[in-house]
Amino acid sequence: MNLVVIPARYNSQRFPGKPLALINNVTMVERVYRQVEKARLVDKIVVATEDKRIYDAVTGFGGLCVMTKDTHQSGTDRMAEAVYHFPEAKIIVNVQGDEPIIDPSIIDASIKPFLSDPGLEMTTLAFHINEDCEDINNPNLVKVVVDENNFAVYFSRSVIPYKRNPDINYPYLGHIGLYAFNKETLIKFASLKPTLVEQAESLEQLRALANNIKIKVIVVTARSYAVDVTDDIKTIEKLLVK
């Protein structure tokens, strides 16, 4: 079974109550859930939260939700607890609860490689960004470098690689914060302690690389837009009317 877990934490430092924020009169968590429902390779969806208000909102629109501990430090840790409710799950996808217009096709793209290579541990997504893109220096746009087989070498909030040779036309990649795991890898990942490099960049996927978990990077054309602060809602509402 392919399971999508949507971690939805109420007490976000930058945006408390974010999953319940209204976007054109629909809560963010419902918009994410409805987008995931459109993915073809997803068998089941569940929201994982520590807050009864989110639980009530999700069950209120007919969604599936599980309560988790309020001590989790990351969405992946919350996801690992939630998966114990679904012993039949084989592939588990972490869809961020703050991406209300996520393209369902990229969720399928994260699952598809497992169908032909069951030995895969983990996948994630990226998209091409131009060197002159105004967001390339934005630390909220994480960059990723891959090897010759499209496995991640490193993720950073800085521009990587540093292009000392201006004649090299390097294809920069922006990271989309969606991950798919096989169940064994997810449980292993959640048992690992945060690493110094992860804490320095504040990027939990670096914990996987530091512990020799290989992450396959699938390059897609669709861009994902996250809501980090309240002003981002206006941007999403504009995109919805296009």
Question: Rounded to the nearest 5 degrees, what angle is found at the Cα of 165, between the Cα atoms of 162 and 167?
Answer: 125
pLDDT digits (tens, 9 = 90+) for 30-60: 999 999 999 999 999 999 999 999 999 999 9
CA–CA separation, 10 and 183 (whole Å): 26
Cα separation, 174 vs 31, whole angstroms: 23
Q: Decide if pLDDT at 166 tops 90.
A: no
Burial class of 100 by CB neighbour count within 10 A (0 to 12, 13 to 18, 19+): buried
Dihedrals phi, psi of 104, to nearest 5 degrees: -55, -30
Helix (H, G, I), strand (E, B) or coil at 116: helix
Under the banding of pLDDT at 50, 70 and 90, the label for residue 16 is confident
9: pLDDT strictly greater than 80: yes
Q: Is the pLDDT of residue 167 over 80?
A: yes
97-118 pLDDT, tens digit per residue, is: 889 999 999 999 999 999 999 8
Per the structure, the count of domains in the chain is 1
Rounded to whole angstroms, how far apart are CA atoms 102 and 34?
A: 10
Domain containing 49 — which CATH number?
3.90.550.10
Instruction: Give the pTM.
Output: 0.92
Residue ranges making up the domain that contains 139: 2-240
CB atoms within 10 A of CB 62: 8
Q: What is the pLDDT of residue 57?
A: 97
